[in-house]
């Protein structure tokens, strides 16, 4: 498909939503870390609804959770691309996977800091 033939407008949005849903379902079926983060997100969102918080505080908590999920999606994408290249060990492949893992770790630290700050205020 060349550039001029790509879908535009609402059709593009509809197709993109389908691709995203397929990726989400794949992650739920195949990635243990993603499943754990979704479960943790559900628990934390429930807790945030139980707490008496201002709207902006609740939004901060939810965005910190979404950031963790975003980092996991990107990390899984990096891992999939590296695995597609080949199964042999290469230092740069290992580095790419390690950097993706670090991104998830940093997102978890950010989320914990946001939760601690909101709960302490």
- Give residue 15's pLDDT band: very low, low, confident or very high (50, 70, 90): very high
**Residue 33 annotated as part of some ligand binding site:** yes
Query: Does the pLDDT at position 33 exceed 60?
Result: yes
What pLDDT, on a 0 to 100 scale, did the predictor assign at position 2? 67
**Residue 67 annotated as part of some ligand binding site:** no
What pLDDT, on a 0 to 100 scale, did the predictor assign at position 81? 96
For tokens 């709207």, name the residue: 55
**Residue 52 annotated as part of some ligand binding site:** no
Per cent of the chain over pLDDT 90 is 89
Query: Does the pLDDT at position 43 exceed 90?
Result: yes
**Residue 31 annotated as part of some ligand binding site:** yes
**Residue 58 annotated as part of some ligand binding site:** yes
Active-site residue, from 27, 69, 72, 93: 72
What pLDDT, on a 0 to 100 scale, did the predictor assign at position 1? 55
Cβ atoms of 71 and 106 within 8 Å: the answer is yes
Q: pLDDT for 96-121, tens place per residue?
A: 999 999 999 999 999 999 999 999 98
Residue 72 is a catalytic residue: yes
Cβ atoms of 45 and 65 within 8 Å: the answer is yes
What pLDDT, on a 0 to 100 scale, did the predictor assign at position 87? 84
Q: pLDDT for 46-94, tens place per residue?
A: 999 999 999 999 999 999 999 999 999 999 999 999 999 988 889 999 9
Q: Which helix (H) or strand (E) holds 55?
A: helix 55-85
- Domains of the chain are 34-120 (1.10.287.3610)
What pLDDT, on a 0 to 100 scale, did the predictor assign at position 12? 93
Classify 31 in phi/psi space as left (phi over 0), alpha (psi -120 to 50) or beta: beta
């Amino acid at each position: 498909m060349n550039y001029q033939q790509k879908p535009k407008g609402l059709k593009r949005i509809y197709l993109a939503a389908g691709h995203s849903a397929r990726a989400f379902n794949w992650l739920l079926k195949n990635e243990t870390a993603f499943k754990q983060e979704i479960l943790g997100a559900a628990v934390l969102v429930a807790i945030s609804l139980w707490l008496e918080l201002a709207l902006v505080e609740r939004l901060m908590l939810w965005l910190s959770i979404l950031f963790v999920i975003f980092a996991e999606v990107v990390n899984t994408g990096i891992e999939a691309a590296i695995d597609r290249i080949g199964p042999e060990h290469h230092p740069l492949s290992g580095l790419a996977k390690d950097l993706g893992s670090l991104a998830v770790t940093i997102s978890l630290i950010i989320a914990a800091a946001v939760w601690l700050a909101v709960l302490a205020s």
